[in-house]
């Protein structure tokens, strides 16, 4: 399975009103992050993803787009030459590789330690129970999330905002690799008509893990 899919779900939902509330909780990083994640119901954006080794060497670059709707509905598409489609409907997850003519179907795991997407597209109130959350003001407003559970797949996650808009996410894997995702053309709370159901094309092998 491609390296890209290990971090595919890690994007966020944000709101104009949430950013204004940061001033009301200047020292409470958890509260600020929960506010930012709580208000918006949909998001669409283009992305650039860069993966690094533990020695900071680039292993992969990819470009694509995402659309998502709470709770748990995602369509994340990486464009050719590394085309890949990942779709969830809060119950199942489909990972479709057109060049391999293969789709893998699994149950969407509702476990923050395994799948941080639950934090970012689901219940944000549990964030303080799963992560130690710190924040700093640099060029952006950065939130650093460190999992409390040592068995988490990620040892650190950083989410950076410019005003109310997500601009960068950085993820450090437990094995030392790092991924960075840069968001552009982000639209929040727009009506989304995408169908978050996947129907495999004729001739595609379907592998089920349920």
Span 77-105, pLDDT tens digits: 999 888 999 898 888 989 999 999 999 99
- In this model, does residue 210 exceed pLDDT 70? no
Residue 5 is predicted with a pLDDT of: 44
- Check if the beta carbon of residue 138 is closer than 8 Å to that of residue 120: no
pLDDT band at 68 (very low <50, low <70, confident <90, very high): confident
Model pLDDT, residue 11: 38
Task: Give the confidence band of 139 by pLDDT, cuts at 50, 70, 90.
Answer: confident
Return the residue matching tokens 């399975």: 1
8-state DSSP, 84: E
What b/e readout covers 84-121, taking b as 16+ CB neighbours within 10 angstroms?
A: bbbbbbbebbbbbbeeeeebbbeebeeebbebbbbbbb
Give tens-digit pLDDT for 107-133: 887 655 555 555 556 555 655 567 888
Q: For position 160, what pLDDT does the model report? A: 87
What is the domain partition of the chain in residue ranges? 3-209
Residue 164 pLDDT greater than 60, yes or no: yes
The domain made up of 3-209 has a fold known as outer membrane lipoprotein receptor (LolB), chain A (2.50.20)
Q: Give yes or no for residue 9 having a pLDDT over 60.
A: no
Q: State the pTM of this model.
A: 0.81
Q: What's the pLDDT at 90?
A: 84
Q: Is the sign of the CA dihedral 34, 39, 41, 45 positive or negative? A: negative
**pLDDT confidence of residue 26:** 46
C-alpha distances out from residue 80 to 15, 44, 105, 118, Å: 32, 19, 22, 28
């Amino acid at each position: 399975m491609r390296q890209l899919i290990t971090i595919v779900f890690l994007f966020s939902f944000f709101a104009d009103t949430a950013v204004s509330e940061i001033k009301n909780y200047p020292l409470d990083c958890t509260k600020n992050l929960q506010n930012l994640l709580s208000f918006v119901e949909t998001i669409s954006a283009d992305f650039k993803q860069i993966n690094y080794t533990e020695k900071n060497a680039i292993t992969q670059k990819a470009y694509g787009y995402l659309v998502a709707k709470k709770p748990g509905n995602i369509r994340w598409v990486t464009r050719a030459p590394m085309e890949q489609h990942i779709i969830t409907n809060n119950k199942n997850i489909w990972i479709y590789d057109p060049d391999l003519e293969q789709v893998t179907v699994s149950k969407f795991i509702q476990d923050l330690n395994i799948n941080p997407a639950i934090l970012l597209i689901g219940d944000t109130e549990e964030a303080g129970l799963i992560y130690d959350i710190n924040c700093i003001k640099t060029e952006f407003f950065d939130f650093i999330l460190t999992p409390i559970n040592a068995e988490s797949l990620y040892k650190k996650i950083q989410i950076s905002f410019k005003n109310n808009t997500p601009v960068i996410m950085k993820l450090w894997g437990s094995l030392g690799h790092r991924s960075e995702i840069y968001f552009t053309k982000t639209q929040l709370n727009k009506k989304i008509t995408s169908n978050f159901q996947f129907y495999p094309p004729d001739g595609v092998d379907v592998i089920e893990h349920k």
